[in-house]
Amino acid sequence: MNARLRSFVERELATPVSAPIAGMAAQLAATLGGRAVLFYGSALRTGDMDGVLDFYVLTDRARGSPLRRLGMRWLWPDVSFHEVIIDGVTLRAKVATMPLATFEKATRGSFIDTTIWTRFVQPSALVWCADEATESRVVGAIGDAAITAARFAAVLGPERGAPREYWQALFRETYRAEMRVEAPGREQQILVYDPARYETLLPIAWDAGEVAHSAEAGIVAPQLPFATYRALSQAWLVRVRAGKALNIARLIKAAFTFDGAARYGLWKVQRHTGISVELTPWREAHPVMAAPAVLWRVMRARAS
């Protein structure tokens, strides 16, 4: 990573957040054994704490049962739902957890998974960190995510065009590869919040990733050697072929390992329908088996 990209990443990761969000990050780090906590998603842009906040907790190693640790090796991250009261206000968060070393490999594109570098080429803030050495590793990983994303964008985008066209192509194709349930045009919604950021980032990431390019009057054109273009194209085809199966496997894993799934689901039901369903010990322990009965109860309540 060159100095320009490092400066860009350091500045963005230092985005200030409110005291309650910083406090929740510290509590999550203590609870989950975190070395660093990243905050991202719509609340980072808006500051709205009424919904579910999004955090990534990076740890020294996978934790939990042998089965969970095996899942973390291949089907990271672990996902959990947390409710924390800070200054009398209840904050809710969906938290992804994975080892920092795995995160670093994922952002470099070392795995066929596309979700990590796609997520973290978008804005995030480093809201809690154990020490300077860990902070440096996180900065490097976020920079690698930008390089990985920009290199694939050079292949998936047009021969020449505005920077936003490359990002639109990248996000559109990653959604398809991941079998994400996203409305058409979602890739444009990502860019609309801060188009200047992405316009600035693309040539910086290309330079850092040694992608030669020309720029004139707002139009850019990557100039990849044929061997590099072919290698990236083949790498992308592998990810497309494996992406859907990988995402299905991850969803199945989440159905049985999502800590707090029942609380999260019932909160979502109440928020979106206004119908309150009691969280019983059985529902909390068996969220998958409890789901059909909860759905039936909600349907009956809405019908009446």
The per-residue pLDDT for range 89-121, each reduced to its tens digit, is 889 899 999 999 999 999 999 999 899 999 999
Cα 67 from Cα 113, distance rounded (Å): 20
Say which residues have a Cβ less than 8 Å from residue 91's Cβ, sequence separation at least 6.
20, 21, 24, 49, 53, 83, 84, 85
Q: Is 10 helix (H, G, I), strand (E, B) or coil?
A: helix
Which tokens sit at 55?
A: 């955090």
DSSP string, 183-200: -TTHHHHHHHT-HHHHHH
Choose the weakest-confidence range: 17-31, 138-152, 256-270: 256-270
Stronger pLDDT, 201 or 250, i.e. the higher one: 201
Structural contact between residues 257 and 68, judged by C-beta atoms closer than 8 angstroms? yes
pLDDT tens string 140-157: 999 999 999 999 999 999
Distances (CA, A) of 283 to 15, 269, 276, 286, 293: 39, 14, 14, 5, 10
Closest CA to 156 of 142, 178, 171: 171
pLDDT at 254 (0 to 100): 62
Kindly report whether the global pTM for this prediction surpasses the value 0.75. Answer: yes
